[in-house]
Structure 1
Amino acid sequence: MPVVELHLIEGYGEEDKRRLGHALTDAVRFVVPAAPEGVVVMIHEMAPDAYFRGRNTKTPAPALPDPAEVVRSYLAAMEARDLDTARAMQGDGFTMFFPGTGPMTDLSELIDWARPRYSFVTKTYEGFDAMPGAGDTSVVYCRGTLSGEWLDGAAFSGIRFIDRFELLSGKITRQDVWNDMGEARGRA
């Protein structure tokens, strides 16, 4: 039975500690074939005045937001066409790639690209997978199906998609989109 002990300076909320416990359990299970209940994670908290580094006490940094929740909120804002809220979730150097496009850096480019393709599109999510990326980057994949309406008013549904996001410091810096819309559009 793997046992992981984590020492934290007091100040993290219950949700932050829950996320840490889940992430550490998943990290162990990535290597060790143990059931979740077979992995023990113990979080020990200490008062800020009980921890010194360089002769000084330290205050804990705030926890980063859950990257999957950032992506979920971003996609909800995009679907609602709340572009200002979506832009606020983008980090410096944000870039997105959609099928058949080069890099786009502003949501207005995406709107212009989509305008001659369909009237609207909605997503049904089958899952979100978040993981560490290179360096300080987080990676989130979301997958599911697309539904909506072609320009001629015909409905479509069940079109597969996968989106991949990179986040840095809780902000989305890259979005890559793959879907079968081109194949479905050719049959419409």
Structure 2
Amino acid sequence: MTAEAAAVAVVEDFLAALGRGDRDAAARHLADGAVMIFPGGRRYTTLDALAAASAVRYRHVDKHREEYEALTDGTGDVIVWSMGTLFGENNAGVRYDGVRYVDRFRLRDGLIVEQRVWNDLAQSGVLTARAETEIEPQWRPRTPD
């Protein structure tokens, strides 16, 4: 397995663990001193701090992880990009889906040292909606055909 493929596997496992609320499993992939930087410049150095801050924004969030790209930079760190969409439920109980995200990870010695997050949550309005009808159709939950 290449270093890039191994790094993608680490990121996938980290994001899957976060999505199911398993902070202990996710934390195994973080290096000491890791930093997670979210929209608005919000910085977290622990998953507990991230979870506490997220609780005021939504009840649940997870990712449809649709695409990965990985490369090794000039320092030997592996950079992994994860792209897809967010889904979940806001604090008013309104479900949402299809909100774009991009995460950029830096891994060193097989551990995440940095995560940078970009998404359209603020632009979508899903976090402040009080009813599904307040959400544009592209961000409403997917319905089976």
The answer, yes or no, to whether TM exceeds 0.5 is: yes
CA contact (8 A) 1:120 1:149 kept: yes
CA pair 65-171 structure 1, distance change in 2 beyond 3 A: farther
User: Secondary structure, in 3 states, of the residue corresponding to 1:66?
Assistant: helix
The 5-angstrom pairing of residues 59-138 of structure 1 reads 66-138=6-78
Secondary structure of the residue aligned to 1:77 is helix
Counterpart in 2 of 1:151? Answer: 91
Deviations 1:158-177 (A, max 9, x none): 10000000000000000000
| Inter-partner Cα distance in structure 1 for 2:52 and 2:41 | 12
Residues 1:134 and 1:102: Cα distance change in structure 2 (over 3 Å): farther
* Percentage of pairs with the same residue: 35
Give yes or no for contact 2:5–2:70 (8 Å, CA) kept in 1.
no
Bigger Cα Rg: 1
Structure 2: distance between partners of 1:65 and 1:141: 12
Give ranges in structure 1 of 5+ residues lacking alignment.
1-15, 20-62
- How many residue pairs were aligned? 128
Instruction: Please give the alpha-carbon distance, in whole angstroms, between the structure 2 residues aligned to 1:110 and 1:76.
Output: 16
Shift of 1:64: 8.5
Q: Which residue does the alignment assign to 1:175? A: 115
Deviation at 1:65, TM superposition (A): 6.8
Q: 1:92: how far off?
A: 2.4
Conservation of the 8 A alpha-carbon contact between 2:29 and 2:111: yes
Mapped to 1, the partners of 2:4 and 2:120 lie a distance apart of: 33
Where relative contact order (Cα < 8 A, 6+ residues apart) is larger, the structure is: 2
Deviation of 1:102 after TM superposition, in Å, equals 3.2
Report the CA distance between 1:118 and its aligned residue.
0.8
Task: Tell me the C-alpha RMSD between the 2 structures.
Answer: 1.8
Alignment of 1:14-25 (within 5 A): 16=1, 19=2
Deviations 1:109-156 (A, max 9, x none): 111111111110121122011111230210000000011111111111
Which 4+ residue blocks in structure 1 deviate beyond 2 angstroms? Answer: 185-188
Match among 75, 81, 104 for residue 141 of structure 1: 81
For the Cα contact (< 8 Å) 1:145–1:161, is it kept in 2? yes
Q: For 1:166, give the aligned amino acid.
A: R
